[in-house]
Each structure stands twice: as structure tokens, then as C-alpha cells.
Amino acid sequence: MDALSTAFETVSESMGELIDGFYTRAVVGNVDTVGITPYLVWYLIAGGLLVALVMAFKKRCSSEDHVPHGPFVNGVESLVDFIRNDVCRGTLGDTWKSHFPFLATLFLMVLLCNLVGMLPTWKPGSGSTGMTAGIAAMSFFYFVMVGVKVRGGWGYIKSLAPKGVMFPINIVVWAIEVFSTFLRLVTLSVRLFCNMFAGHMVMGVFALMCTIFVEPLFASITAQTLGVASMSILWMVLLVLIYAVELMVAFIQAYVFALLSAVYVQLAEADH
């Protein structure tokens, strides 16, 4: 029982270190003014991976035989087809081609940011509110620009209030619509951050449990320490299961982010 109680005490002490590791700190400069955080570094790494992915895909597709093949090319083509059909065509209709480059880039960037954080000791580029707010701001400004392009600046502002609503109710409805439009920026950012943060926190807890329950074996090998160490097998199984779930969550969150962005673009183009 002494080894078991010691393991649980170590867990409570290590939890503080785990949570502290998720806080945003500047590696260059200061987070209160101007600085570079680890999450920004991993975001840039994900961006570099996206550029390398596109260049490698283009090179494979322009091969001499002009017949793209292989798991890499087929996998990328499947992703592109998925974005084109499920996100763009299904939501935007006839205008999908003009928005496909942005939405495809958005989906792939969020997906790579999420997947980068799945590697040991690495952090997701979408793992802080500052980074997810920046990604959400791209989507926000894009659909606002689409609305302005379709109707003009003043026309887009007026379009936020539905037609046929009598005065002064239309003023109230317009104010609510303006608020909800800006709220999209917050919901896009918070949804992505919370899902990625929660998943990585859970994986971190199970990883701690795996290591801490094995530590008593290094002090002495007894029946008691072997019994405590055997509990780490359960934590390892749960960690693998959570890891598999997080891989799906990484994809789902990228899909939801791109899909909601497409919906907001469709709303900006729609004739209310």
C-alpha cells in the first residue's frame, strides 16, 4: 500500500507541472507585448509542412507518366475530394470554386496544426486561444469581405437585418445580427481550442499515470511494486484508446472549422 499511496501522491504533484506546461510562454520577447510562443513556432512548422505537402503532391502529379499513384497521392486526393464535395459543393453551391482554395487551405492548416500536437513533446499550433483566435480571424475577415464584395460595404451592413421587419424592431434585430456575426469569431476560436486542449490534457494525465506507477520498480522489485506497476498496463491501454480518439478529433475539428466557415460564406452571399 505504501508504493500505491506514493504513486498517487506523485500524480497529484505532477498534475501541477502538467497544467503549467500548457500555459503560453514566450520563447522570444514577451507575451504581454510582442513575442514568439511555442504555439506560434509549431503553427509555423505546420505551415511549412503544408507547403512541403503541396509541393510534393504537385511534383508527383506532374511525373512523366502523368498517372498519379501511390498511397501519398491517393490520400491527398481523397482529402481534396472530401473538401471539394462535402465542404464546398454541398454548402456553397454554384460559387464553390471561388472559395475552394481558401477553405481547402483552412482545413489542411487546422488539420496539420492538430496532428503536429499528437507527436510526443510537440505542441499543437491550435493549442492556445491566441493561435485559434488568429485562425478564426482569417475566416471572419474572409466571409465579411465576401459579403462586402457581393453587396458593397453599406449593403452588407444593411443585409444583416432581414427584410420585411418593421421599424424599430428591425434596429433591434440588426444589432443582434451584428453581435452574432462577431460572436462567430469567438465560437470558432473557443471550440477549436477547447477540444484540442481537453484532449491533450487527458492524454497527458494518462501518460503520467503510465510512468508514475512504474517508478516504484526502479527503487525495489517486490511483489508490492510489481502489483503497482501492473496498473500502468491499464493506463497504457486507455492512453492508446484516447490517442486514437484524438486522431479522429483532430480531423473532425478541422472539418467542423472549415464547414462552419463555408456556412458563414454562404450566409454572406445569400439574398436575405
Q: How far is 89 from 12, CA to CA, in rounded Å?
A: 50
> Across all residues in the chain, what is the average pLDDT?
79
**CA angle centred on 56, ends 51 and 58, rounded to 5°:** 95
Instruction: Give residue 31's pLDDT.
Output: 59
| pLDDT score at 218 | 58
Q: Is the model's pLDDT at 194 over the cut of 50?
A: yes
Domain positions in the chain: 2-269
Q: What 3-state class would DSSP assign to 28?
A: strand
Condensed to tens digits (0 to 9), the pLDDT of residues 171-184 reads 887 888 888 888 88
**17 compared with 108, residue with greater pLDDT:** 108
pLDDT value for 258 = 93
